[in-house]
Amino acid sequence: MEVKFANYRFLSEQFILYKNDELIPLKRNQAVLLNFFLSNPEGIHSKDTILDVVWQDRVVSEQVVFQTISQLRALLGDNAIKTFSKKGYKWQLTVIPKQQEKDESGEVHYRTETESTNKTSYKKLSWLWAIISLLATSIIIATYMYSVKLTNNEAISLKNRTSFNILYNKKRTTRSQAQFNNILSNVLAQSSSFSSQEKLIASTARQAFAAPKLVWQQANLPVGDWLIWGDIYTAKNSLPEKGHSEKGIFLNFGLSRDNTYWQGYLYAQNAQQLELALAKRLNELDTLGLFTTVNKKLDINTLMSMYNVAQHDPDLLLLLARHYITVQHLDVALTYLQKLTNLDATYGFSAYQAEAQWYIGKIYKMRSQHIQAVNSLDTMSDILADTPLWPLSFHNINTNAWLAHARNDNETMLRIVEQGLTSLQDHADPLTLFELHILNSIVARKVGDDHKKYSHLNQAQALLLKHKLDDSNLAVVYYHFALFTEDKPFTGSKTAAIPYLEQILALPRTMRNDWILNDALEMLVNHHIEQQNFTRAYALFNDTWEGPLTLLLKAKVFQAQKKLTEAKMLFEKAFELARLHHDIHTVLQAALSLYHLSIDQPKVRAEYLAYLQSNASSSWLKMHETELASE
């Protein structure tokens, strides 16, 4: 149905607004609110009513009503909507009814036979006019009821739509990310299942891939809304003399909502085909239940339910492999990764083939099967050699460097990180270059090169400041400054590290810096225990999530104060929780502490010893062999 007001036309079925003949883009909330005002132009509508109609069961603040009304006023003029103090809002512009049929003179005419029409004929005409009027009234009422039904159906349809917020950073969106946003916007605009709007935030798409939960929190979205972002990588033909300048386009997209995170890859020959591929993929994920899952987190039960429906889905295979790596079921993880490598060997599947080989290489590295790890990472390099997928090349460089370190091959380690920085200097984004400089700094410390150690760390910090990278990235800078203070040959170097460690704990936690915050907390607690400053040690736990490590460290403070009953209770709780979370570091420390505290319970002590001997690595057992020798 078309509604006209001033010089505007609003198509309520399509939620499209025109000013004269110019299309005025509307966001979802703006369109629904405008439709509500035009459907009820005479009433004064309270904030609560507007919240119920426009946002329905979504939990939002009253501020969004003010913002959306301000946005409509900016589009339609300040006089379009009037505020009535403590009452609500009322539509002010005249809604133009549909014009009556007119003749050339503009007047409405009804024909009569002659001026001398008799009374009977007049009565018949009056009855006829009454019947016509009644029929017209019935038609108007039926039309109104039908329009109300359509409006309600539209509201229900909108309620069932998945709401996407497209990450947009005006100052730091690259050309390729802008192209991704354009492709995505075209896809979502044509879908009846999804609604979308741009979300202007400070973080970049690359930061969202690195810390999806943090960026979703920064976007300040309603609980059910998704943040979506991505990038594209154009593959150049290595043989341009054959007349082809490009091979095609890779697309990498990411999705996050609270604790749910998903990413995937697509490939096509051109942007138009990529739009079709992305539309198909989003519909597949919708069918898979990703957007309707009641779980806040993609746990193993949810993943397996999805896997039973789509056993060849590459994203699912990667997610399952990651889960089983986390819980140390490495053979199961390898099974899913092998299945992924067998799915598709074409060029367009290169991203998945490379990721599979990366995880396989990491598993072999964890098992100290270094030759197999080298082979997998070399295969990954070969796959990536003819692609523009430089983010995956960074992962290869990072893992290869640490693999060389594990093999005590410092020369190869140095060569890998130096060549990696050179090869990605002209392609990588500031965040990746920041991480490369950090890697070079760490490697320089390993080989005792103090000049390069500080040079790369300072360059990393300069990139962070210049490009205003997220503060969460400061954790790795502060961490290495803290470590480097211990390299200095003067007394009190540990004390010099304390300010850096305290700064780390004030930073937001992400997937990338989680281990750094945990290390910083542990180092600070141990320092305060050594100094017998238990008040400062306890103060570190005020705002800390009660995870396995926190419980373990609290127990250590109690133990240092000779409060052994309280300590043992917390060690037991930490041991239990760490096993559930597959936190190997914490569970081994808790088991060792319980082994010591159970000296008067030989059977219990023997059980903890058996656990340590069965689950700890040979190097860990050797490190603690003196403590365990009494059994």
User: How far apart are the C-alpha atoms of 616 and 588, rounded to whole Å?
Assistant: 7
> Was domain 299-407 assigned CATH 1.25.40.10?
yes
Instruction: Summarize the confidence of residues 25-30 as an average pLDDT.
Output: 78
Query: CA of 408: how far to CAs of 6, 334, 365, 405, 480, in Å?
Result: 77, 26, 13, 5, 21
Confidence of residue 208 (pLDDT cuts 50, 70, 90): very high
**Amino acid in position 473:** N
User: How far apart are the C-alpha atoms of 60 and 221, rounded to whole Å?
Assistant: 9
Confidence of residue 131 (pLDDT cuts 50, 70, 90): low
User: How far apart are the C-alpha atoms of 601 and 597, rounded to whole Å?
Assistant: 9
Give percent of the chain with pLDDT exceeding 90: 43
User: Boundaries of CATH 1.25.40.10 in the chain?
Assistant: 299-407
| Token digits of residue 484 | 């480097």
Confidence of residue 135 (pLDDT cuts 50, 70, 90): low
Whether the CB-CB separation of 81 and 37 falls below 8 Å is answered with yes
- The residue to which tokens 């000296």 are assigned: 599
Q: What pLDDT is stored for residue 169 in this prediction?
A: 85
Q: What pLDDT is stored for residue 65 in this prediction?
A: 83
Residue 603 in this model has a pLDDT that exceeds 80: yes
H/E run at residue 618: helix 618-623
Confidence of residue 292 (pLDDT cuts 50, 70, 90): confident
User: How far apart are the C-alpha atoms of 580 and 578, rounded to whole Å?
Assistant: 5
Q: List the single range of 9-23, 431-445, 456-470 with lowest mean pLDDT.
A: 9-23
Whether the CB-CB separation of 92 and 85 falls below 8 Å is answered with no
Instruction: Summarize the confidence of residues 73-84 as an average pLDDT.
Output: 87
Q: What pLDDT is stored for residue 154 in this prediction?
A: 43
Whether the CB-CB separation of 591 and 621 falls below 8 Å is answered with no
Which DSSP letter does residue 45 get? B
User: How far apart are the C-alpha atoms of 466 and 393, rounded to whole Å?
Assistant: 24
User: How far apart are the C-alpha atoms of 352 and 337, rounded to whole Å?
Assistant: 10
Whether the CB-CB separation of 440 and 457 falls below 8 Å is answered with no
Q: What ranges in 161-204 are assigned the alpha helix state H? A: 175-189
Residue 205 in this model has a pLDDT that exceeds 70: yes
174-200 pLDDT per residue, tens: 889 999 999 999 999 888 888 888 888
Residue 153 in this model has a pLDDT that exceeds 70: no
| Mean per-residue pLDDT of the chain | 83
Which DSSP letter does residue 54 get? I
Residue 631 in this model has a pLDDT that exceeds 60: no
Residue 123 in this model has a pLDDT that exceeds 50: no
User: How far apart are the C-alpha atoms of 512 and 55, rounded to whole Å?
Assistant: 35
Q: What pLDDT is stored for residue 377 in this prediction?
A: 96
Report DSSP letters for 521-537, one per residue: HHHHHHHHHHTT-HHHH
User: Boundaries of CATH 1.10.10.10 in the chain?
Assistant: 2-97
Phi, psi of 541 (to 5 degrees): -95, 0
Q: List the single range of 9-13, 53-57, 171-175, 256-260 with lowest mean pLDDT.
A: 53-57
508-551 pLDDT per residue, tens: 888 788 889 889 999 999 999 999 999 999 888 865 567 899 99
Q: Which among 169, 217, 258 has a CA at the least distance from the CA of 508?
A: 217
Between the ranges 21-30, 33-42, 123-132, 143-152, where is the mean pLDDT highest? Answer: 33-42
Q: What pLDDT is stored for residue 165 in this prediction?
A: 93
Whether the CB-CB separation of 199 and 219 falls below 8 Å is answered with yes
- Rg of the chain over Cα atoms, rounded to whole angstroms, equals 33
Whether the CB-CB separation of 558 and 572 falls below 8 Å is answered with no
52-63 pLDDT per residue, tens: 888 776 666 677
Residue 320 in this model has a pLDDT that exceeds 90: yes
Number of Cβ within 10 Å of residue 358's Cβ equals 23
203: helix, strand or coil: coil
Q: Output 164 or 627, whichever has higher pLDDT.
A: 164
Which DSSP letter does residue 244 get? -
Instruction: Summarize the confidence of residues 73-79 as an average pLDDT.
Output: 86
Whether the CB-CB separation of 264 and 281 falls below 8 Å is answered with yes
Confidence of residue 404 (pLDDT cuts 50, 70, 90): very high
CATH number of 2-97: 1.10.10.10
Q: What pLDDT is stored for residue 321 in this prediction?
A: 96
Q: Output 194 or 14, whichever has higher pLDDT.
A: 194
Q: Output 348 or 160, whichever has higher pLDDT.
A: 348
Report DSSP letters for 440-501, one per residue: HHHHHHHTT-HHHHHHHHHHHHHHHHHTT--GGGHHHHHHHHHHHHTTSSSTTHHHHHHHHH
Q: Based on the number of CB atoms within 10 Å of its own CB, is 427 exposed (0-12), middle (13-18) or buried (19 or more)?
A: middle
- The residue to which tokens 């329009």 are assigned: 147
Confidence of residue 102 (pLDDT cuts 50, 70, 90): very low
CA triple 305-221-514, angle to 5 deg = 70
Query: CA of 99: how far to CAs of 19, 108, 584, in Å?
Result: 19, 11, 77
Residue 565 in this model has a pLDDT that exceeds 80: yes
232-258 pLDDT per residue, tens: 999 876 444 444 445 799 999 999 998
Q: Which among 424, 460, 463, 428 has a CA at the least distance from the CA of 441?
A: 460
Q: What pLDDT is stored for residue 28 in this prediction?
A: 77
Q: What pLDDT is stored for residue 296 in this prediction?
A: 62
Q: Which among 622, 564, 615, 629 has a CA at the least distance from the CA of 593?
A: 564
211: helix, strand or coil: coil
User: How far apart are the C-alpha atoms of 234 and 107, rounded to whole Å?
Assistant: 64
Residue 149 in this model has a pLDDT that exceeds 60: no
| Token digits of residue 595 | 């082994």
| Token digits of residue 472 | 């969460």
Instruction: Summarize the confidence of residues 355-366 as an average pLDDT.
Output: 96
Q: Output 488 or 506, whichever has higher pLDDT.
A: 506
Residue 593 in this model has a pLDDT that exceeds 70: yes
Q: What pLDDT is stored for residue 322 in this prediction?
A: 94
Distance of CA 518 to the CA centre of its chain: 22
Number of Cβ within 10 Å of residue 292's Cβ equals 11
**Amino acid in position 3:** V
- The residue to which tokens 């074409």 are assigned: 346
Residue 488 in this model has a pLDDT that exceeds 80: no
Q: Which residues contact 380 (CB under 8 A, 6 or more apart)?
A: 354, 357, 358, 361, 392, 396
Q: What pLDDT is stored for residue 545 in this prediction?
A: 60
Query: CA of 106: how far to CAs of 96, 110, 113, in Å?
Result: 17, 13, 22
